[in-house]
Amino acid sequence: MNKLLFPLSLLAALLVYSCTKPGEPAQGSLVPILPETEYNYRDVVPEEMSFMGQIPYTGENIDETVTLGRVLFYDKKISFNNKTACASCHLQSNGFADKSAFSEGFQFVETPRNSMTIVNTAWTGPYFWDQRAEILEDQVLMPIENHIEMGIDDVEKLIVKIEALDYYKPLFGKAYGSEEITVERISIALADFMRAIVSYRAKFDEGQDSNFANFNPLEMEGKELFEGEMQCSSCHNGPHFRGWGSANIGLDMVYADQGQGDWQQGMDGWFKIPSLRNVAVTGPYMHDGRFATLDDVLNHYSTGIEDHPELDFRLRNNFGKWGDPDVPVEAIKMNMTSHEKDALKAFLMTLTDHELLNDERYSDPFQMVSN
Ligand code: HEC
Ligand code: HEC
C-alpha cells in the first residue's frame, strides 16, 4: 500500500505545499498557551514508584525540552496540510491511542495499522507494531516523514515550517540554550515528551502497597486469572503490562499484515506485545483494530485462537507441560465462563489511570486567541 501511495501522495503533497505559504499558518490565531514556569517533568515518577525506573531523558533541560515536545506534539501546523498533529491519532482521552481502527492521516488516507498507546514508551521499546524502531528518537520522526500520517517527505521542509512560526524560537532557546532549529533537536523534544507520559496512578498501582486491599472480590479474581490459570501475564507482565518482544496470538490462519514477518524471517503474524495500561479506553484493539470491545478480545483468547504454524508457544496446550505425551500441542482453548470474562474485564479496568487521562501537563496547549 505504501509503495502505491508514494508517488501519488508526493504529488499531492507538493501541490498542497505550493498553495500554502509556509510563513502564513492556516489558523493564525491558534497559539500555545504555556504556564509561566514550566511544569515539572523531571520528577514525573515519584520515589515510591521508582520500580518504574528513572525516566531516561535525552535532553539536558528536561522541563523545557519536554514543554517544546508537548507543543510540537499538538501542533497541526507542522503537517503538510496544517491539519494533522501527532495528537490527532494519539488522543489523551483514549490513553493516547485512537478511537478508530485505522487513523486518518494528512490526506484523509488511512494508516494501515491501528494507532498505539504511547504511555510508558520510555521503557517499552522496540517501537511500532512490528518493532521496527529501536529508539524513540528514530521513531518520532517517522510519522512526520510518513506520507500517510503527516505528509512531510523531507524533514528539512519541516524546519522551514517551524522557523516560520514565531512561538518556536524562544521554546528552542529555553530547551537548548540557542534558538537554532535542527532535526535532532526536534526529535529529542518529541521523544522526551513521549518519555514524560507515564501511567502509574491506576487503581492497580494504588493497590501495590496493601496487597490489593483496595480491589473488590471480582477484580481480585480477575487478577488471579490473569496471572494464573489464563496465563495472560506470561506475555503482558512487568510494571507496564507489556512484557518483552512480540508474539503471534493466532488471530488468523493467514495474516493480511505479516507484522514483524515483513522484515524478519519466521515471524509471520508476530506483533509487538502491547502495554495493557489504560486498555479499557484504548480500543479498538489489536494491530488492525479488529476488535471493538474487550469482550471481543476475551472471546478471541477464550475460543478463537487459530492454530497458525507460528502461533506463540505460550498459547499452545502444552505450555508448561512439555514432554507430557498426553497433552496435545494445538492452539489452546481457554473456554472462559462468562463470570471469568467479567472478572478479567474488572481487573483490566483497574489499569485505567484517570489522572493521566486528565493531566494538564500532557494536554493540548493550543488555544484560539483573537488577532
Ligand atoms: C495518522 C495517524 C498518526 C499520526 C498523525 C501519528 N501517529 Fe504515531 N502511530 C500511529 C500508528 C497507526 C502507529 C502504529 C504504526 C505501526 O505499527 O506501523 C503509531 C505508533 C506510534 C508510536 C509507537 C508506540 C509503540 O509503543 O511502539 C509512537 C511512539 C508514536 N506513534 C508517536 C507519534 C508521534 C510523536 C507523532 C507526531 C510526530 C505521531 N505518532 C503521529 C498513528 C499516528
Ligand atoms: C503469547 C503472548 C500473549 C498472551 C499469553 C496474551 N497476550 Fe494479549 N496480546 C499479545 C499480543 C502480541 C497482542 C497484539 C496482537 C496483534 O495485534 O496482532 C495482544 C493484544 C492484547 C490486547 C489488545 C491491546 C491493544 O491495545 O490493542 C488485549 C486487551 C490483550 N492482549 C489482553 C490479553 C489477555 C486478557 C490475555 C489472557 C487471557 C492475553 N492478552 C494473553 C500477546 C499475548
- Find the 143 Cα to ligand 1 centroid distance in Å: 6
Could you identify the atom of ligand 1 that is nearest to the CA of residue 127? 27
The mean pLDDT value for 251-257 works out to 96
Pick the more confident residue, 158 or 251: 251
Distance from C-alpha of 167 to C-alpha of 359, rounded to nearest angstrom? 23
What pLDDT shows up at residue 40?
95
pLDDT at 21: 41
- CA-closest residue to ligand 2 atom 41: 232
Ligand 2 atom nearest 287 alpha carbon: 17
Pocket test for ligand 1, best of 117, 149, 192, 262 (most atoms within 8 A of CB): 149
The count of other CB atoms within 10 Å of the CB of residue 179 is 14
pLDDT score at 333: 92
Give the pLDDT of residue 144: 63
Query: For 306, phi and psi rounded to 5 degrees?
Result: -85, 150
How far is the C-alpha of 23 from the C-alpha of 250, rounded, in Å?
Answer: 50
Sign of CA dihedral 119, 125, 131, 132: positive
Give pLDDT, residue 35.
95
**How many whole angstroms from its chain centre is CA 269?**
19
pLDDT band at 155 (very low <50, low <70, confident <90, very high): confident
Higher-confidence residue of 58 and 318: namely 58
Q: How far apart are the first and last CA of the chain?
A: 42
Which residues, 6+ apart, have CB-to-CB distance to 5 below 8 Å? 109, 147, 148
- Band the pLDDT of 252: cuts 50, 70, 90: very high
The region of weakest confidence among 14-18, 180-184, 263-267, 350-354 is 14-18
| Residue list, ligand 1 pocket, CB within 6 Å | 84, 86, 88-90, 103, 105, 111, 113, 115-116, 118, 121, 124, 127-130, 139-140, 143-144, 149-150, 190, 194, 272
Q: What pLDDT digit, counting tens, does each position of 44-90 carry?
A: 888 777 777 789 899 999 999 999 999 999 999 888 778 888 899 89
Q: How far is the CA of 69 from the centre of ligand 1 (A)?
A: 15
* Mean pLDDT, residues 109-131: 86
If pLDDT is split at 50, 70 and 90, which confidence band does 117 have?
Answer: very high
Q: Tell me the pLDDT tens digit for each residue of 4-38.
A: 333 333 333 333 333 334 444 455 578 999 999 99
Pocket of ligand 2 contains residue 231 by CB under 6 Å: yes
| pLDDT for the residue 145 | 61
Q: What mean pLDDT comes out for the span 145-151? A: 59
Pocket test for ligand 2, best of 99, 114, 235 (most atoms within 8 A of CB): 235
What is the chain's mean pLDDT, rounded? 86
130-134, 207-211, 216-220, 273-277: range with lowest mean pLDDT? 130-134
Instruction: State the average pLDDT over residues 95-122.
Output: 80
What is the average per-residue pLDDT within 110-121? 85
Ligand 2 centre to CA of 179 (Å) is 44
Q: Average pLDDT of 186-214? A: 94
b/e burial code for range 261-296 (CB count within 10 A of at least 16 → b): beeeeebbbbbbbbbbbbbbbbbbbbbbbebeebee
Return the higher-pLDDT residue of 363 and 98.
Answer: 363
Amino acid in position 324:
D
Tell me the mean pLDDT in the region 341-346: 98
**Who has greater pLDDT, 101 or 114?**
114
Tell me what the mean pLDDT of segment 89-98 comes to.
Answer: 93
Q: Which residue has the cell 512560526?
A: 165
pLDDT at 236 over 80: yes
- Rounded CA separation 149/348 (Å): 30
